[in-house]
């Protein structure tokens, strides 16, 4: 399992970490746009916002449907990040159990 398992687990954990950072970037960017700190008419800001939206929306939309509406407070990114942390722990526990 060491020849294939270690790089595979490393890859899975790295993908989870990168996706977590993308979710955080999307949340911060949405706050900055909402408070008019940055403007989406800037092409770079629009591209980054669009990329984060396209990457995170398939995971966030089902969570938004399950979580209660809190009048403008979106808890789905926090729930997704907690889910990603749990997924990392599960992958590590499975890998450590195989050793």
Asked if residue 76 is part of any domain, the answer here is yes
Asked if residue 88 is part of any domain, the answer here is yes
* Tokens linked to 69: 């509406």
* Tokens linked to 84: 């990603």
Mean pLDDT, 10 residues at a time, the chain of 99 residues: 84 98 97 94 96 97 92 93 98 88
- Number of folded domains that form the chain: 1
pLDDT for the residue numbered 1:
61
Asked if residue 3 is part of any domain, the answer here is no
How much of the chain is in helix, strand and coil states, percent to nearest 5?
80, 0, 20
What's the whole-model pTM score?
Answer: 0.91
Range(s) of the domain holding residue 84: 8-98
């Amino acid at each position: 399992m060491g020849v294939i398992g270690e790089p595979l687990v490393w890859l899975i954990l790295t993908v989870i970490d990168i996706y977590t950072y993308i979710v955080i970037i999307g949340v911060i960017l949405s706050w900055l746009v909402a408070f008019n700190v940055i403007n989406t008419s800037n092409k770079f800001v629009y591209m980054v916002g669009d990329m984060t939206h396209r990457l995170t929306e398939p995971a966030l939309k089902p969570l938004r449907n399950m979580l209660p509406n809190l009048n403008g407070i979106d808890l789905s990114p926090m729930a997704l990040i907690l889910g990603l942390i749990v997924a990392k722990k599960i992958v590590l526990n499975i890998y450590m159990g195989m050793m």
